[in-house]
Structure 1
Amino acid sequence: MSTIDSYSPPGNLDDLDDTGRKVWNNFISDSVEQAVKGPDSSKVLNDSPRSQFYDLTKTGTAADAQQATVTWTAFPRRIKVSSLSDAQRWQRADASRDVQDEYCEWSITRDPTSGKITKVMFTCEGPEYWNLLAQSDPAKVLQLYQTHISPDVKHGDLFGATGTYQPRNRWNDSTTHGAMHLVQVNNTLGAEIELAAAATIVRVINGSELTTEPDLVQCSQYGEPERNSDPHIGGAVNALARQKADISLADPVGLYFDDLKTDGWVTPDGSDPKGYWTRQRGDAVHPVRFVYEVPQSKGFTVGDITINGSPIQYGAQIADYISIKLTAVACRFGQSGTPPQTTCVQFPAAPTDATEAAKHISALSLQGYHAAPHPISRTRRR
């Protein structure tokens, strides 16, 4: 059995110096440790501990290890199921980053004269990484924005008057001015780690083992049932847990682009439409940033390409054909002795007695007062 020395940055990016890489390793390791421990049992019942989830730097991965890649569609399913037509759902998905909740967000550039799309930026980089990079190397953050978003980006645009990095800044807060990293509230690495750990709990309710994605997500309360990502991630991880395996997220921990399918796409000159899908950040196996853009020398734009006979008028049309992925690693199959939970996740009722309620509020306040802030902000499970 072997452990890894440290967790690598997402996509094996090389932005961080040695100190930054150590802080990143600590963040991922701490996040995994917290996810293994699970939530405070006084606040959430039947959701801890998660003893089949483990830290790659502290527990060895056995020789029978297998990797499982989980993929899902980048277009937000909650928008799809609540829209009356394709045109309506594409327009709604292009209107705000806050609805792009499948760990993929995008921003569209249009020709100011014709209105045709000339470029669409896609990102799946978690905000935690950028918060750390901004703390350790603000100049690097500015340089990356100027390279990938616009040479017009200024330090004050990103850090404001206080010098504190603003993830939702003017260049990373809309679907029209750029997309450097994820900003939608649920699109975080912390959420990914928590979800994966929670999904390792096997559930046997009334004598029946839960196996379907809807049953698992409803019983374990580890995500949003209407998303493409949460139920599918949870279902895939739980399938490994039911094989009595130990499970973790493969290094480097992150969300990544899986593929862009271009079946049914046609370009004006007959060229391969996938040739305009350009990776900008992350390695070939762990890409975290793509741009879809046609070189000016070709004489046409993205808006001149058709999908199933219709011209590309929305970035969301492209998102329909993008898949996102994460990779889990499982080992020690058949060896876990962790018993299944026989009850679904429950949330204790708030105390009704005035005295007990006051004690409860006081205890929570003290917990918040004594808790040391983490060097990187982290979003908990929804």
Structure 2
Amino acid sequence: MATITFDTPAHLRDAPAGSPFYAAWHREIARLVNDRVPLSRPGRSVDPSVVDLEVDEERLKTWTGFSRPLLMEHRDDRPAAFAASEDRSVQIEYLEWHVTRTDGAITKITFTTETPEYYAVLAATEPQVLLDLYRRLVSPQVQLADLVGAGGTYKPRNKWNTTLGIVHYIMPINSMKDMLGVSEEIQNAADARDNFEPLPYQRMTGADARLSFDNWVMTRRGLSVAPWNPPGLYIVDWDDTGWTKPDGTPVDDYWTVARGAEGMVLRLEYEVPATEDFVVGDIAIGGRPITTGGEVAEHIVLSARTVAGRESP
């Protein structure tokens, strides 16, 4: 196996063939991945664009999309946890969502796992593609000046990605940088720890513990670990079992994959077709009508993939 070129999340082809965007994206990912980082002995984390890795196995790491810290904080009051989750600053499991309401009732929930880094690279290399993408995903009213500031600098917290819609993460620890570098925070303590001891970092998220623990398991077997290609954070499953329409019958399939592919979903929408005589807010989960996006996020499964193997001489 030779060293790799990092592909775009879910093999997206937003820019035309031959665009400088693709090389710029590879450079951005390579910048975020440390060449060689010691983890739990004797293995290490490596950058597969620099290190020739003979891949022996692939590990799919999964967790659910609702914030574990909120569940811990509101252990005995789940409605309070769901209400608090509507603030995107606490949506910290690498899943963020935007709720659309009409007269107070939820009509649509849009979930994303897209990262700000992707859109910053688009802004720097293909600003028209950036604009076209925003217009398709959020509104035809988006203007380039809304997205790009002086000198072509991308504005991730623009109104179309905050109050008026959603395109990618805005919560600071939700990012490609954080996913690829999740081990960096703990690497200095990893060698002194056993996998069954408390994790040597303060985050209480379900995602970070899963990502780090699995890396340790593989490196302790003497394997080197690396990001799967294409690197990304993906929605891999969702479950509406037991959800009911207003008449008490099971819901139909109201999910739409708006971006990505099977096993690598980046944008997922939940909306009842206009042909029905009810909306999302009329659907019940466990007998209770949906009042927040968090109640749906709890039923979404997220993933990141890692490969492991031996380094070629």
Percent identity, please.
30
- 1:145 offset after TM fit, Å? 1.4
Q: Which runs of 5+ in 2 are unaligned?
A: none
- 1:173 offset after TM fit, Å? 2.0
Question: CA 1:28–1:164 in structure 2 vs 1: closer, same or farther (change >3 Å)?
Answer: closer
1:20 paired residue number: 21
Task: Tell me, yes or no, if the aligned pair for 1:8 and 1:21 is still in contact at 8 Å.
Answer: yes
Q: State the structure with more CA Rg.
A: 1
The two structures have a TM-score, normalised by structure 2, of: 0.90
1:319 paired residue number: 297
Instruction: Tell me whether 1:195 sits opposite 2:182 in the alignment.
Output: yes
1:291 paired residue number: 269
2:33 paired residue number: 32
- 1:263 offset after TM fit, Å? 2.1
Helix, strand or coil: the match of 2:161? Answer: coil
Instruction: Tell me whether 1:103 sits opposite 2:103 in the alignment.
Output: no
Instruction: Tell me whether 1:149 sits opposite 2:135 in the alignment.
Output: no
Question: CA 1:142–1:270 in structure 2 vs 1: closer, same or farther (change >3 Å)?
Answer: farther
Spell out, residue by residue over 1:224-276, the C-alpha distance to the aligned partner (whole angstroms, 9 max, x if none): 43111111111111111111111111100111112111122112467764611
Question: CA 1:8–1:274 in structure 2 vs 1: closer, same or farther (change >3 Å)?
Answer: farther
- 1:73 offset after TM fit, Å? 1.2
2:128 paired residue number: 139
Q: Following superposition of structure 1 onto structure 2, how do residues 176-325 of structure 1 map, counting pairs within 5 Å?
A: 177-196=164-183, 203=190, 205=192, 210-212=194-196, 215=198, 217-218=199-200, 221=201, 224-268=202-246, 273=251, 275-325=253-303
Spell out, residue by residue over 1:146-196, the C-alpha distance to the aligned partner (whole angstroms, 9 max, x if none): 11112222222222566532100111124xx21100010001111111114
The residue type paired with residue 60 of structure 1 is D
2:5 paired residue number: 6
Aligned residues: 309
Task: Tell me, yes or no, if the aligned pair for 1:123 and 1:290 is still in contact at 8 Å.
Answer: yes
Distance in 1 (CA, whole Å) between partners of 2:271 and 2:47 is 39
Q: Which runs of 5+ in 1 are unaligned?
A: 39-46, 337-382
Distance in 1 (CA, whole Å) between partners of 2:159 and 2:4 is 38
Helix, strand or coil: the match of 2:236? Answer: strand
Instruction: Tell me whether 1:85 sits opposite 2:86 in the alignment.
Output: no
Spell out, residue by residue over 1:31-87, the C-alpha distance to the aligned partner (whole angstroms, 9 max, x if none): 2235x358xxxxxxxx79996222223333326x11110011111111221125111
Task: Tell me, yes or no, if the aligned pair for 1:266 and 1:305 is still in contact at 8 Å.
Answer: yes
Instruction: Tell me whether 1:68 sits opposite 2:59 in the alignment.
Output: yes
Aligned match for 2:111, one of 109, 122, 144: 122
Distance in 1 (CA, whole Å) between partners of 2:126 and 2:137 is 17
The residue type paired with residue 150 of structure 1 is S
Distance in 1 (CA, whole Å) between partners of 2:283 and 2:2 is 48
Distance in 2 (CA, whole Å) between partners of 1:27 and 1:51 is 25
Higher fraction of helix: 1
The residue type paired with residue 239 of structure 2 is K
Higher fraction of strand: 2
The two structures have a TM-score, normalised by structure 1, of: 0.74
The residue type paired with residue 59 of structure 1 is V
Helix, strand or coil: the match of 1:259? Answer: strand
Distance in 1 (CA, whole Å) between partners of 2:250 and 2:141 is 32
Task: Tell me, yes or no, if the aligned pair for 1:173 and 1:179 is still in contact at 8 Å.
Answer: yes
Task: Tell me, yes or no, if the aligned pair for 1:199 and 1:238 is still in contact at 8 Å.
Answer: no
Q: Following superposition of structure 1 onto structure 2, how do residues 341-352 of structure 1 map, counting pairs within 5 Å?
A: none
Aligned match for 1:53, one of 45, 49, 52: 45
Distance in 2 (CA, whole Å) between partners of 1:11 and 1:50 is 32
The residue type paired with residue 235 of structure 1 is F
Distance in 1 (CA, whole Å) between partners of 2:94 and 2:100 is 21
Distance in 2 (CA, whole Å) between partners of 1:270 and 1:60 is 56
Task: Tell me, yes or no, if the aligned pair for 1:78 and 1:227 is still in contact at 8 Å.
Answer: yes
